[in-house]
């Protein structure tokens, strides 16, 4: 029998309303059901390293020139970023950074997608709102710091559709090469959440304010590889079969240049981007527990004919004045 969930009372300046005690179990149930939207929200120390599939979640190979290619290897799930996938990528980055034989890394995907973003099917363990808020902040920050802190040249070879955090992490690499089959989607506004992955600052640096707003704002523009190249989001767009050779050629040019300086698509102030990531992660944690996101989930579920889950999100919106008392100020 599963253990009974008990909401702990937290005393602040006054006793919390009784309605909060009624709301907490529903909060647990809904977040466990739907907050799979953020697999990166699951603490990495609790995630399993092993995939349920027979194949490893990432595979790596290193050529004679010291260029290691790391491939996201869950194509049947469109290389979606579960907590286990993120742990595997993190482990690959740690290994490559420590290996003196590795001079640079190329990150790409297996199958038709580069990455479908954070895996919606993942689930979140039950917790109180304040703990959930802290987990969102800490886990989101860690994802992007993994890319910001990588000390060696990094190129992302986008072999197909790329969504959400997988887009913004790619732009934190030294360079991005896109296949002609690639697309780039950052549907944050539609989901009712704030930009992440330093995109609130970095997209404008790469593409200008107007184009950045097209991708991050209500329009939700999804450029193709060629359009992303023209806009400045990626370095190059090449025929699909030429993707890895083009990425390798770019990395070799970096390695042959004695004056090459590691950067994030030309943005060299890593400390500044880490500060942006910290603030964006806080804002994202707030947004996940705010009315616009909850309403977006209710609308999405209603449109899919899932009346009961939609009703629970509507209940969370109605009772938010009570359970929001447990959130940090």
* Strand, coil or helix: 311: helix
Beta bridge partners of 236: 177
pTM of the model as a whole: 0.82
DSSP string, 112-154: S-SB--B-TT-------HHHHHHHHHHHHHHHHHHHHT--S-E
E strand or H helix that includes residue 105: strand 104-109
Strands 104-109 vs 67-72: parallel, antiparallel or unpaired: parallel
Sheet holding 58-62, edge to edge: 58-62, 67-72, 104-109, 154-158, 175-179, 236-238
Beta bridge partners of 59: 71
**What confidence score (pLDDT) does residue 250 get?**
98
Q: Residue 175: CB partners within 8 Å, gap ≥ 6? A: 154, 155, 156, 235, 250, 251, 254, 265
Using CA atoms, how far apart are residues 159 and 244, in angstroms rounded to an integer? 9
What backbone torsions phi and psi does residue 212 show, to the nearest 5 degrees? -60, -40
Residue-by-residue pLDDT tens, the chain, 329 positions = 443 333 333 323 333 344 444 444 444 444 444 433 333 333 333 333 344 446 899 999 999 899 999 999 999 999 998 888 999 999 999 999 999 999 999 999 999 999 998 764 454 556 788 888 888 899 899 999 999 999 999 999 999 999 999 999 999 999 999 999 999 999 999 888 899 999 999 999 999 999 999 999 999 999 999 999 999 999 999 999 999 999 999 999 999 999 999 999 999 999 999 999 999 999 999 998 899 988 988 898 899 898 888 888 898 899 899 888 888 87
- Domain-wise residue ranges, the chain: 37-285
Among 43, 46, 59, smallest CA distance to 142 is for 43
Choose which CATH entry (3.90.480.20, 1.10.3720.10, 3.90.226.10, 3.90.1150.10) describes domain 37-285. 3.90.226.10
Distance from the first to the final alpha carbon of the chain: 37
**What confidence score (pLDDT) does residue 121 get?**
45
**What confidence score (pLDDT) does residue 159 get?**
98
DSSP string, 148-211: HT--S-EEEEE-SEEETHHHHHHTTSSEEEEETT-EEE--HHHHT----TTHHHHHHHHH-HHH
Q: Cα 297 to the chain's mean position, in Å?
A: 18
Q: Residue 3: CB partners within 8 Å, gap ≥ 6? A: none
């Amino acid at each position: 029998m599963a253990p009974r969930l008990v909401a702990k009372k937290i005393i602040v300046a006054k006793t919390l309303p009784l309605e909060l005690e009624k709301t907490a179990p529903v909060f647990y149930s809904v977040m466990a059901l739907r907050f799979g939207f953020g697999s990166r929200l699951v603490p990495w120390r609790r995630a399993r390293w092993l995939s349920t599939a027979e194949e490893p979640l990432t595979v790596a190979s290193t050529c004679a020139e010291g260029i290691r290619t790391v491939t996201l290897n869950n194509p049947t799930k469109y290389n979606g970023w579960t907590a286990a996938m993120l742990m595997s990528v993190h482990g690959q980055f740690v290994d490559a950074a420590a290996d003196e034989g590795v001079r640079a890394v190329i990150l790409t995907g297996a199958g038709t997608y580069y990455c479908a973003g954070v895996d919606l099917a993942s689930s979140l363990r039950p917790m109180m709102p304040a703990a959930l808020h802290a987990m969102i902040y800490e886990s989101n920050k860690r994802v992007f710091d993994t890319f910001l802190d990588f000390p060696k040249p990094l190129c992302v070879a986008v072999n197909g559709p790329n969504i959400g955090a997988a887009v913004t992490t790619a732009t934190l690499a030294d360079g991005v090469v896109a296949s002609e089959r690639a697309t780039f989607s950052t549907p944050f506004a539609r989901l009712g959440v704030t930009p992440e992955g330093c995109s609130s600052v970095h997209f404008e640096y790469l593409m200008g304010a107007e184009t950045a707003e097209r991708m991050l704002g209500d329009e939700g523009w999804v450029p193709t590889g060629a359009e992303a190249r023209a806009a400045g989001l990626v370095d190059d767009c090449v025929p699909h079969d030429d993707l890895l050779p083009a990425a390798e050629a770019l990395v070799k040019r970096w390695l042959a240049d004695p004056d090459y300086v590691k950067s994030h698509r030309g943005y060299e102030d890593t400390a500044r981007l880490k500060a942006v990531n910290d603030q964006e992660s806080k804002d994202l944690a707030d947004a996940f527990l705010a009315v616009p996101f909850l309403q977006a989930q209710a609308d999405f579920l209603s449109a899919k004919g899932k009346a009961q889950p939609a009703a629970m999100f509507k209940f969370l919106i109605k009772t938010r004045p009570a359970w929001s008392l447990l959130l940090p100020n």
